[in-house]
Amino acid sequence: MKKYIFIVAVFLVPLIFTAPSEAGLLDRGNGLIYDDILDITWLGYANYSGETMTWDNAMSWADNFVFEGYDDWRLPTSDTSCTGSDCTGSEMGHLYYNDNVTSAAPGIFNDVRPYMYWSATDYGPDQSKAWRFHFDTGYQGISSKTYLRYAWAVRDGDSSPPVAPEPAGLVLFITGGISLAARRLLRKKGR
């Protein structure tokens, strides 16, 4: 009996005392990538529009975009207090610097172009310009809204998370399975 208690302890103790980790990007399937730190969902295909466009056209494209039943897409926002590299306060900067998503190493994303993507944030001092981010170099800056850039859709919140058992349910399931197996073994020995 001590042998069985030891086996149960060996399997359950690591499960019970394992600390949860920060996931970051979670593939929700069907082209939806959830960032659980920023609480936003990225379109998994970074070049879904298939073309570069002006800022006004990119804003309109995102505003009218419908994908997987969601119609509240937008362009990512920028942190206007940072120009250049290491601008991790913007949504695209966070993706590039914290999640290591680049055009050369797109990770779970598809077709991240080695060029500039529009931000939804316009440049306050000059309304003819807006913020943009470069996924080849990690550089955040401003451009005239008439220039052609890519557009990447994002939406607030999580999108269709898969049904998964809670950790407590998983522990109970494993404990029950081990208990049934131990009980069956004991019955066989008793015969």
Confidence bin at 98 (pLDDT 50/70/90): very high
Confidence bin at 13 (pLDDT 50/70/90): very low
Domains annotated on the chain, with CATH = 22-160 (3.10.100)
DSSP-derived secondary structure for 116-182: EEEEEEE-TT-TTEEEEEETTT--EEEEETTS-BB---EEES---PPP---HHHHHHHHHHHHHHHH
pLDDT digits (tens, 9 = 90+) for 71-95: 999 999 999 999 999 999 999 999 9
pLDDT digits (tens, 9 = 90+) for 15-67: 444 434 446 899 999 999 999 999 999 999 999 999 999 999 999 999 999 99
Average pLDDT across the chain, whole number: 86
